Chains A and B, each alone.
Chain A
Amino acid sequence: MTRRFPALSAVVVILVALAVAAVATAGWRSEPDAASPQLSLASEQLRLTQTQAHKALIKMPDAKPGQVAKGTTRVTITGSRATVQVGVKNLRDIPGPNGGKLIASQRLWIDVRCAGSPCPHNRVAYRGPLALIGTRSLGTWREGAHRTYAVRVWLRRGGMPPTTTTGDNLYQHSTATFGLVWTATAS
């Protein structure tokens, strides 16, 4: 006589299996700043490498209006064709003695552009206030593609200050900090 397996038990087992599979799949999605994922069974796992990973590109301690802080990094993707984006995180204003906020005022500008070769026809990924960069697409890259990006940041000149504590002078000794995030999504 054959014993029948209860239908309810079967459903429970299937749900557990699905959950385990979902967790396993989610584990392959990398977190920002984490090392690229290692999927031993997959022959085409997506990896994004960057020559300046985990380092600041912009370090400007004593900027005059119009003075440009520069940094470059080379971004490479392997394992898969992917769409690539650049964005910012952890934006923070630290006002100086005159109270000016570089980011919130939109006086701190950023220019992100592809430099050298290869580059897309439109090299400029973004040029404008740091506060408004959001996430910018860098296009779809073939597997193994690399590009070098130059990042420039500066305090826009605002003309002749009307007083010693307003106009450009509002931003004296103000600081802005931020992170840049380069993300590839397999496509």
Chain B
Amino acid sequence: MISRGRLAIAAVLGLVAIAAWTTASSGASFTASKSNPSNRFTASSSFPGIRVASGSYTGTGVDNRAITGVGFQPDVVIVKSDDNSGVAEIRTSTMAGDNTKPMTGNTALTANLIQSLTSDGFTLGTDNAVNRNNRAYDWVAMKSYTGHMALGSYTGNGTSKSITGLGFSPEYAMVLPGANTAAVQRMSAMTRTFTFGADTGSTTGITSLDSNGFSVGNSTSTNTNAATYYYIAWNQDVDEMQTTSYTGTGASHSITGVGFQPSFVMVHANDTTTGRAGAMRSSALSGTASQLFTATANESTGITALGSGNFTVGTSATVNNSGTTYDYVAFKDKP
């Protein structure tokens, strides 16, 4: 016979078990989870920036000549003959169709020069400025990188205008008119806007480099009403783009403080009394040669070398007249 006490205990145990089961199966405090462990994010050991490549070729005079091996699809290509076959030519990815801008002179966008930008280079027409048979040419190609370099276009209003939305404060800007007015540039140390040729500057071109873009005055090179302008802007970076000024001495010397070994250097005098053409040198040039943007043969006393953290200027007045202030911009490939 089962005692009343044992019956009571059995009843209590049963109630407890039922209560526990009921609580659990109702899911009142029931959880389930799954995880994704070991997610891993590692930053690169070298951060990229704008791409810069340069090279040389010999003209053939054959249309649709493909120049390849650049290593990336360029956003900008500059071509200049080693002789006086033509002025420097520039093509941007924002220019549609077969159009290239001569960098000096008052020439509108022109066909038959740099005809297109391709996945690994660019194609040439038959114009002497870029593809004269048996003539030597040098090219520089750049690819933009967000926050470091920006390209775009705008329509002029004939008065003044601010171009915004670059996402950075540029230290160097080029404006390339679609129409027959001169291409211009402004580096942060320049007191005026200068063409790429010999000029004394303008106060109504690129009037300022701003926090998120730049402003233009009413110069026909930057702001004719209803005209189209293409621009390129660069952001200074400690290891890919540097711009500042130096004072000429008349004697060959090294311009130090670049911060890196440049792949490409452009120089223009900040001279408001004597016009001096701009000069450039890429790592593709050999010896002491550098190039002017005008239809002039290479000179040997301009930018004579690109070094580690510096470049050297010779005695040419384009880059080193005693007492003249020059501005430069130096670029380095940053893959």
Chain A residues with a Cβ under 8 A of chain B: 2-5, 10, 13-14, 17-18, 21-22, 24-25, 28-33, 36-37, 39, 41-50, 52-66, 69, 71, 73, 75, 77, 79-80, 82, 89-90, 96, 100, 102, 108, 153, 155, 157, 159-164, 168-169, 171-187
Give 15 new A-B contacts, CB below 8 A, not counting A50-B36, A182-B33, A183-B32: A5-B3, A10-B5, A21-B19, A33-B33, A42-B24, A48-B32, A61-B40, A63-B44, A66-B147, A71-B36, A80-B30, A155-B41, A168-B47, A179-B39, A181-B35
Cross-chain contact A45 with B36 (CB below 8 angstroms): no
In whole Å, how far is B131's beta carbon from the nearest beta carbon of chain A?
A: 36
Q: A17-B16, A41-B21, A168-B47 known; A58 and B41 CB under 8 Å?
A: yes
In whole Å, how far is A30's beta carbon from the nearest beta carbon of chain B?
A: 5
Interface presence of B273 (CB below 8 A): no
Cross-chain contact B31 with A179 (CB below 8 angstroms): no
Residue of B nearest to A89 (CB): B35
Chain A residue numbers with a CB within 8 Å of B32 are 30, 36-37, 46-48, 77, 82, 183-184
In whole Å, how far is B311's beta carbon from the nearest beta carbon of chain A?
A: 20
| Complex Cα spacing A79 to B27, Å | 9
In whole Å, how far is A172's beta carbon from the nearest beta carbon of chain B?
A: 5
Chain B residue numbers with a CB within 8 Å of A185 are 29-31
| Complex Cα spacing A111 to B133, Å | 56
Cross-chain contact A171 with B34 (CB below 8 angstroms): no
Chain B residue numbers with a CB within 8 Å of A45 are 25, 27, 30
Q: A52-B36, A63-B43, A157-B147 known; A10 and B24 CB under 8 Å?
A: no
Contact among B16, B35, B48, B148 with A179 in the assembled complex (CB-CB below 8 Å): B35
Cross-chain contact A21 with B35 (CB below 8 angstroms): no
Best-buried of B9, B42, B45 by chain A (most CB within 10 Å): B42
| Complex Cα spacing A184 to B36, Å | 15
Best-buried of B37, B39, B236 by chain A (most CB within 10 Å): B39
User: Considering the complex, which residues of chain B in the window 148-186 have a beta carbon less than 8 Å from any beta carbon of chain A?
Assistant: 148, 168
| Complex Cα spacing A34 to B327, Å | 66
In whole Å, how far is B269's beta carbon from the nearest beta carbon of chain A?
A: 27
9 intermolecular pairs with C-beta atoms under 8 Å apart = A18-B16, A25-B24, A49-B34, A56-B40, A64-B48, A160-B148, A173-B42, A179-B37, A183-B33
Q: A13-B13, A41-B21, A58-B40 known; A4 and B34 CB under 8 Å?
A: no
Contact among A63, A90, A179, A186 with B28 in the assembled complex (CB-CB below 8 Å): A186
| Complex Cα spacing A179 to B25, Å | 30
Cross-chain contact A44 with B25 (CB below 8 angstroms): yes
Cross-chain contact B31 with A64 (CB below 8 angstroms): no
Chain B residues with a Cβ under 8 A of chain A: 3-6, 8-9, 12-13, 16-17, 19-21, 23-25, 27-48, 146-148, 168, 235-239
Cross-chain contact B36 with A28 (CB below 8 angstroms): no
Count how many pairs of residues, one from A and one from B, have CB atoms less than 8 Å apart in the complex: 217
Cross-chain contact A174 with B43 (CB below 8 angstroms): yes
Q: A30-B32, A48-B33, A66-B146 known; A186 and B27 CB under 8 Å?
A: yes
| Complex Cα spacing A71 to B32, Å | 22
| Complex Cα spacing A113 to B213, Å | 34
Cross-chain contact B47 with A65 (CB below 8 angstroms): yes
In whole Å, how far is B35's beta carbon from the nearest beta carbon of chain A?
A: 5
| Complex Cα spacing A165 to B31, Å | 46
| A-B residue pairs, 10 tightest by C-beta | A5-B5, A186-B27, A21-B20, A42-B25, A58-B39, A183-B33, A48-B32, A173-B45, A50-B34, A186-B30
Q: A21-B17, A182-B33, A184-B32 known; A5 and B9 CB under 8 Å?
A: yes
In whole Å, how far is A14's beta carbon from the nearest beta carbon of chain B?
A: 5
In whole Å, how far is B213's beta carbon from the nearest beta carbon of chain A?
A: 16
Cross-chain contact A184 with B31 (CB below 8 angstroms): yes
Q: A153-B41, A159-B168, A176-B41 known; A14 and B237 CB under 8 Å?
A: no
Contact among A10, A30, A56, A96 with B45 in the assembled complex (CB-CB below 8 Å): A96
Chain A residue numbers with a CB within 8 Å of B147 are 66, 157, 159-160
Chain B residue numbers with a CB within 8 Å of A173 are 42-45
Chain A residue numbers with a CB within 8 Å of B237 are 160-161
Q: A21-B20, A25-B23, A62-B44 known; A54 and B35 CB under 8 Å?
A: yes
| Complex Cα spacing A44 to B168, Å | 57
In whole Å, how far is B250's beta carbon from the nearest beta carbon of chain A?
A: 34
Chain A residue numbers with a CB within 8 Å of B146 are 66, 157
Chain A residue numbers with a CB within 8 Å of B45 are 62, 96, 172-173
Contact among A56, A160, A182, A186 with B236 in the assembled complex (CB-CB below 8 Å): A160
Cross-chain contact A177 with B40 (CB below 8 angstroms): yes
In whole Å, how far is A186's beta carbon from the nearest beta carbon of chain B?
A: 3
